[in-house]
Copies of this chain bind each other. A is one copy, B any other.
Amino acid sequence: MLIHQDRLFPAEASTRKIAKALYEQVRTLPIVSPHGHTQAAWFAKNEPFPDPAKLFVQPDHYIYRMLYSQGISLEELEIGEPELLDARRVWRIFARHYYLFRGTPTRLWLDFAFQELFGLDQRLSEATADVYFDTISEQLRAPEFLPRVLYERFNLEVLATTDSPLDSLDDHKTIRESNWKARILPTFRPDPVVDPEFAGFSENIAKLAEKTREDASTWTGYLNALRKTRDRFRELGCTATDHGHPTARTANLSSAAAAELFYRVLAANADAQQQELFRAQMLTEMAQMSLEDGLVMQIHPGSARNHNRKLYEQYGRDVGADIPMPTNYVTALRPLLDQFGNERGLTIILFTLDESTYSRELAPLAGHYPCLRLGPPWWFHDSPEGMMRFRERVTETAGFYNMVGFNDDTRAFLSIPGRHDLARRVDCAFLAKLVAEHRLDEDEALEVAQDLAYRLVKQAYKL
């Protein structure tokens, strides 16, 4: 077997027993996935997923960044190619290097999918590469592996995508208009039209104007265009926005100063500091709109995007060369919090790639401000040890109820059950330790386990 029924539970027998008992009560709860990067098109079209390499290797920068770090070129892996020339060859390279993933969550997610979805039970390696390729390829053609069937089989209750304000959301409409009862929702991610450093920023705003029939060359028109787009998203069930800025900086400019800054960035006359200030101001504007329309804000700051210049020039964004940076929250968020920090009707979910902020800044902030909640461990930290560190550093100050449950944040649809299962197990392991050390009673731990797996996410994201 690839995966063990007691995986991720503490070895100590009495603690493991508690963890297992807790896990049994959350194992089959529906999956609520409020933030991720799956494609609505898969469910709109409901076509079979392609071959194993296209499915597992090509879209997953967790996988190919590791292979790349060990000297395998992106060319060999056919990254960026619309169609794979030789999927089996790519798969074999991956299989031969599967040992590189020892000790990583990627290994755990993959083994879960291999065994639970495809019934594989021998470890992936050079020797088993072809068995894997053939087994998975064959099953992918079967009707029970169509996207909609998998959605149901995964026991998904909600699945949110992440979408540009310029997206037509046609796939979302198609899903809604079909008879299918799934709940697949868009998320409003305005980076292309609020971040002056985003490729095509001013063209994007022109398109936004066109789509909304607003004069987005004025500050007021621009804000109205954003408001209208949020409404368009909300009509399709959207409950949240998402903001991927380099920092968590916010600003609180006067209307006049904000307008002037807008004209400067729109005219491409802004320097790096002014661009940063504009993003900062836009977070505060988004908070204002959220207060009006009820959308929950997610802030994902602190990634140095496209760190590898040569790869970026050749392949563009999102090829696995984003590196976390030290991130400040206590000063950065102050302008926004000065305005809206005490609003009970506003929810802002903070994420971080800088774990040193967990106990120093994030837990104290979320343990005080009514509008703040903490998102789960993100990206590089979405792992057993990373999750444990998060719980250990945050809970004692902010408690469990200023957290929002789990996000899978994945581009790999097939990893969703494995990712949620891993999170539930680690949470049960954490709670079991508290129970075993008499820091929490078992009946309370059970309630918390259910809250972390199911209730908190629905409440925080208004789902």
Contact = CB atoms under 8 A, between A and B. Distances in A.
Interface string A438-460: 11110010011000000000000
Interface residues of A, number: 91
A1 to B, nearest CB: 10
Given A4-B438, A438-B6, A401 B70 contact: yes
B359 A441 contact: no
A66 B101 CA distance: 40
Given A70-B401, A99-B444, 10 more contacts: A69-B398, A70-B370, A99-B447, A103-B448, A104-B396, A307-B330, A323-B330, A359-B380, A384-B396, A386-B396
Nearest to A338: B309
Contact of A307 (B66, B304, B334, B395): B334
A397 B65 CA distance: 10
Contacts of A304: 330-331
A320 B438 contact: no
Contact of A399 (B102, B366, B401): B102
Name the 7 nearest CB pairs between A and B, nearest first: A4-B438, A11-B436, A7-B438, A383-B396, A103-B395, A356-B356, A71-B344
Contacts of A361: 323-325
Interface in A1-33: 3-4, 6-12, 14-15
A66 B104 contact: no
Given A370-B71, A385-B392, A324 B364 contact: yes
A349 interface: no
Interface string A390-406: 00110111111110000
A369 B438 contact: no
Contacts of A386: 359, 396
A265 interface: no
Given A334-B307, A360-B324, A400 B102 contact: yes
A326 interface: yes
A325 B331 contact: yes
A71 B355 CA distance: 27
B14 A11 contact: yes
A372 B307 CA distance: 14
B360 A354 contact: yes
A326 B370 CA distance: 23
